[in-house]
Amino acid sequence: GDSVTQTEGLVTLTKGLPVMLNCTYQTTYSPFLFWYVQHLNEAPKLLLKSSTDNKRTEHQGFYATLHKSSSSFHLQKSSVQLSDSALYFCALTHDSGYNKLTFGKGTVLLVSP
């Protein structure tokens, strides 16, 4: 079945530094990849999504490129802010059957002053 791997459980950074959160996936279907962000006591919200190979997707300063050759969809930002502190989920669905989302375990990003 489908799976998503996020290798970092916790990333701590000083504001202004760049960040990359890793995400790799496995599926036998054509994938749709998502990044969701969940701030404390809030609902998970869509940050980015993509199904196009080798095309960079950007939103709110974050960006990611789906690479089907390496089954990756890493999330990056060039300069993190205090407000970026949150839980980030990578997730996968595909174009076969129902729209069932498979999640990674999530990465907590903590940004300090």
Q: How far is the CB of 61 from other proteins (least distance, A)?
A: 20
**Contact status: 86 vs other proteins (CB under 8 A):** no
Question: Which of 93, 107, 109, 111 is close enough to bind other proteins by CB under 8 A?
Answer: 93
d(CA 74, CA 11): 14
Which among 6, 1, 3 has a CA at the least distance from the CA of 107? 6
Would you say the C-alpha torsion 48, 44, 28, 6 has a positive or negative sign? positive
Residues in the chain: 113
Using CB under 8 A as the binding rule, whether residue 46 contacts other proteins is answered as yes
The pair of structure tokens assigned to 92 is: 């996968």
The distance of closest approach from Cβ of residue 83 to other proteins in the complex, given in angstroms and rounded to an integer, is 18
Nearer to other proteins, 15 or 72 (CB): 72
Residue 103 makes contact with other proteins by CB under 8 A: yes
Give the count of residues interacting with other proteins (CB under 8 A): 28
Q: Distance between CA atoms of 28 and 100, rounded to whole angstroms?
A: 14
List residues binding other proteins (CB under 8 A).
4, 9, 32, 34, 36, 41-46, 49, 51, 89, 93-106
